[in-house]
Structure formats: C-alpha cells, structure tokens
C-alpha cells in the first residue's frame, strides 16, 4: 500500500465538502470517512423575496426601486476532481467578475482519469466560484454562480 497516496487522499477529503471517499486502488479498497459537519445554508438567490407593492407609494424621499438580477447555478455533472484551469501551470479559465457566453469552457472535472469540460449553459457574469482548484466535488454540487444578463 502506497502511504503517500493514502495521505494525498486524506488531504483531498479534508479540503473538500466530501464526508466520505471509497476507492479501489492497486488491489486494495480504501475508505476515508469523517463525521458530517453541519454546513451553513447559502442564501437562496433564486428565490425572490417579497417586496413592497409596486403600486404603493413609498416614504417621501425614497429612491427608485432597485431591480434584482437573476442568478443561476452551474452544477457538477459528475463526481470527480475540479480544476479551474485547462492544464497544470495555466491560468484559471474564468475568475469572479468575468463575463461568459453560453458554451464557454469554464472548468474541468476529472473522473476516473478522464477529463470532462464544464461549460457555461448560458451567458452571464461569474459572481461566485464555489470550489478551489483540485477540490473533490460530487455530482450536483454548485461549481459556479452566474448573474444572468438580460
């Protein structure tokens, strides 16, 4: 058993939101688990909050109503290791604040030694990147949050 490999797996799980990882490597089954810690819930950006009635008059001197921008989450299509750049040593494909168009390559997921491209499924501005480079992610995890452009 390669102790260095096991230590890298432990480090990977400790840096990720995973609570358990089980793999088979070199004829041995390895299972790493930790107690699930409660995760703080993120604000629901996609759920509109009730606001004042647009027909009602506001207090004197109140400014114009501010329109809220729609947000969209881009999720991991599979479980694997998330990479922000296309290859080691290259800059990240996108950063917070970047405008992206539909179909733009914004990340890479490695699963079972296969690299899978993560593309933006719509146009918008990147407002959040949920994982650091080389983080373990599970299918359905939010990778990016976009502010949609009208």
pTM of the model: 0.55
- Residues 27, 81 within the same domain: no
Q: Residue 53 domain-assigned?
A: no
Backbone angles phi, psi at 7, to 5 degrees: -65, -35
- Residues 25, 73 within the same domain: no
Q: Residue 11 domain-assigned?
A: yes
- Residues 27, 75 within the same domain: no
Q: In this predicted structure, what is the pLDDT of residue 6? A: 74
pLDDT in tens, the chain (150 residues): 667 777 777 777 777 777 777 777 777 777 777 654 444 444 444 434 444 444 444 444 444 444 556 889 999 999 999 999 998 899 999 999 999 999 999 999 999 889 999 999 999 999 999 999 999 999 999 999 999 876
Residues in the chain, total: 150
Q: Are the beta carbons of 124 and 45 closer than 8 angstroms? A: no
Q: In this predicted structure, what is the pLDDT of residue 129? A: 95
Q: Quote the strand ranges of 6-123, DSSP E.
A: 20-25, 28-33, 71-75, 80-83, 99-100, 105-111, 114-119
What total of structural domains would you count in the chain?
2
Q: In this predicted structure, what is the pLDDT of residue 47? A: 38
- Residues 141, 87 within the same domain: yes
Compute CA distances 26 → 1, 5, 40, 68, 147, whole Å: 8, 11, 37, 53, 44
- Domain containing 7 equals 1-36
Residue range 85-126, pLDDT digits in tens:
998 899 999 999 999 999 999 999 999 889 999 999 999 999
Q: In this predicted structure, what is the pLDDT of residue 54? A: 41
- Residues 28, 75 within the same domain: no
Q: In this predicted structure, what is the pLDDT of residue 150? A: 63
């Amino acid at each position: 058993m390669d102790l260095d490999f096991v230590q890298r797996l432990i480090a990977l799980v400790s840096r990720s939101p995973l609570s358990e990882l089980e793999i088979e490597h070199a004829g041995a089954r390895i299972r790493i688990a930790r107690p699930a810690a409660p995760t703080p819930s993120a604000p629901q950006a996609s759920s509109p909050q009730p606001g004042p009635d647009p027909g009602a008059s506001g207090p004197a001197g109140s400014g114009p109503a501010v329109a809220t921008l729609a947000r969209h989450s881009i999720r991991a299509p599979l479980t694997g290791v998330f990479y922000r750049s296309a290859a080691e040593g290259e800059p990240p494909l996108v950063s917070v604040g970047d405008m992206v168009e539909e179909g733009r390559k914004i990340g890479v997921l490695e699963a079972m030694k296969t690299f899978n491209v993560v593309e933006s499924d719509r146009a918008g501005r990147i407002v959040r990147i949920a994982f650091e480079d080389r983080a373990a992610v599970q299918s359905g995890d939010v990778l990016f949050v976009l502010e949609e452009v009208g």
